Amino acid sequence: MNKTKRLRQLFERSEFFVLPGVASAFEAKMVEAIGYKACYMSGSGTAANIAGLPDAGLTTMTEIVGNARNIAAALSIPLVSDADTGYGNALNVYRTIQEFIRAGVAGVHIEDQVSPKRCGFIAGKQLVSTEEAVSKYRAAVAAGEELDKDFIVIARTDARTAVGGSLEEAIRRARAYREAGAHVAYVEGVQNREEMKRCVEEIGKPIMTNTLGIPPAEHPSHEEMEEMGIACAFHPTVGRHAITYRILWEYLHDVKARGFLAIKEWDELLERFPWKYPAPPHRYDLLGFDRLRQLEEKYLPAEELKKYEGCWGLYTPGKGGGKHF
C-alpha cells in the first residue's frame, strides 16, 4: 500500500493518531524508529533549519518542497507537510500540490492567511477572503486527483486568532473549505477543550488539531481527544522543543568557555542517567551505515572490503561503536 493511501486510512478510521513535527530527515528517522504511524514536516522548523529565518512567509515553495522531498525519501511512513499559503493564487497552489506529490509527500495543509503569512502563533495574522481561499482548496484537490487520488488536502484556517477573527468565523470558513473538497479541516489556535468539541460537532470529521493555544494545565490528553472525535493531533515543535533549544544553547556556551573539559563533563552527566525508554540505535546505525555495510558486502568485490581491516574508528559499520558520538 502506498503512503498516500495509508495516510488517507489514518484520517478515515476512528482511531486517533499523532503527528510529531520535524524539520530534518534525521529527526524523521527517529520518529519512524520509535513507531509513529506518520510524520509531519514543520514549515517553521524548516525556515529555521535551512535558512535561519522566522516563519513569516520568507521561504519559497522550492525550499519547502526540497526539504520535504529529503524527509519523505528517508521514511517508509507517510509524511504530511506544511505548505504555507500555497505560494500564490489558485494556479500557484495547483502547481504546489503537484510538486509535493512528486516529492513523495502524502498530504499537506494550506492556510487561509494573506501572503506573506506568519506562524499561526505569532500575532498580526491577516486572512484572505473566504472566496479566495475556497478557490485555492478547489485547485489543490483537483491537482491532487490528477496525479494521486489519495493525496490528502488539509484546509487550515487561522480565523480563530487572526485580525477580526473568532471561533464562529473559523468554523464557518472550515465548513466552506470542506464543501470545496478539502479532505480534512484544521482550525489553528483553538483555546480550550470546548472549542475542540465544537469544531468536531459543527465542521464534521475528520479534524486535525494541536494544543499550542491551550494553557498547558488544561491540555486534553490524547485519550480525551480521541473521545471527542479528533482524528489527529500534531505537535509541530517536538523536533525543536524549548528543552532542546535551551540545552544546546547552554552546551555551546560551556564548550566555548571550557573546551574539552565541558564536553567530557556533559558526556559523564548523560551516562549517569539511564534511558527512560529503550535506548535508541547508534546514531550512525539509525542513519544507515550498517545497511551500507550490508550493501557493500553484497555488491563490492572482497578486495574492496579489506578497507575495514587494520584501521580504527570510533564506529565501525556493521559492528557499531561505544558511544553515540
**Active-site positions?**
119
Task: Tell the residue number behind the cell numbers 581491516, with chain if given.
Answer: 309
Q: Which of 66, 85, 76 is nearest to 29 (CA)?
A: 76
Give strand pairing partners of 152: 107
How many helices (H) and strands (E) the chain has is answered by 13, 10
Which residue type, as a one-letter code, is found at position 186?
A: Y
Phi, psi of 188 (to 5 degrees): -75, 140
Length in residues, the chain: 325
Task: Tell the residue number behind the cell numbers 567530557, with chain if given.
Answer: 264
Using DSSP, state whether 107 is helix, strand or coil: strand
User: How far is 294 from 298, CA to CA, in rounded Å?
Assistant: 6
The secondary structure of residue 113, as a DSSP letter, is B
CB 234 within 8 A of CB 19: yes
CB 170 within 8 A of CB 159: yes
CB 110 within 8 A of CB 136: yes
* Continuous H helices in the chain: 3-12, 25-34, 43-46, 61-74, 90-102, 130-147, 167-179, 193-203, 222-228, 242-258, 260-272, 283-287, 289-299
User: How many Cα atoms within 13 Å fall on the side-chain side of residue 92?
Assistant: 14
